Amino acid sequence: MGEIEIIQEKALTLNELKTKLEEVKKRDKELNFRASKTLEYLGLTVEKKQKTDFKKIIEDLGIQRLKDRHIAKIADLQPKDLESIKTLFIGENLTIKQEDMQRILECLK
């Protein structure tokens, strides 16, 4: 069995993951078991085309402490209040200013 080499690691939103899996399915004609189960789950839970690209909007806010994985998590879950945003980052070594969290909420509305 060959060694797997990770070339790049990038956080994806659920919509982006669904799109990538569909591209792989078209290219390879068939997905392995895990990929096909993931695509099936995403088909049931994720909207076909999200109307707005929340990931891009949040990136444009320029909040320095947010990494790609944090932005993807916010874009996927789309919290509705400050407590929900705080809950997303429990267990993370990350502090976000109150005004930055408020800016994120305004963008999601």
Residues 24-50 have pLDDT tens digits of 999 998 889 999 999 999 888 877 656
Burial class (CB in 10 A: 0-12, 13-18, 19+), 11: middle
SS3 14: helix
**Which residues span the domain enclosing 93?**
54-108
66 shares a domain with 25: no
The span from the CA of 74 to the CA of 28, in Å, is: 31
The span from the CA of 7 to the CA of 56, in Å, is: 24
100 shares a domain with 59: yes
Query: pLDDT value at position 89?
Result: 85
60 shares a domain with 104: yes
Instruction: Tell me, yes or no, whether 83 lies in a domain.
Output: yes
- Total domains present in the chain: 2
The pLDDT-based confidence of 15 (bands split at 50, 70, 90) is: confident
Query: pLDDT value at position 67?
Result: 87
92 shares a domain with 63: yes
The pLDDT-based confidence of 5 (bands split at 50, 70, 90) is: confident
Instruction: Tell me, yes or no, whether 4 lies in a domain.
Output: no
The pLDDT-based confidence of 1 (bands split at 50, 70, 90) is: low
Q: Give the predicted TM-score (pTM) of the model.
A: 0.75
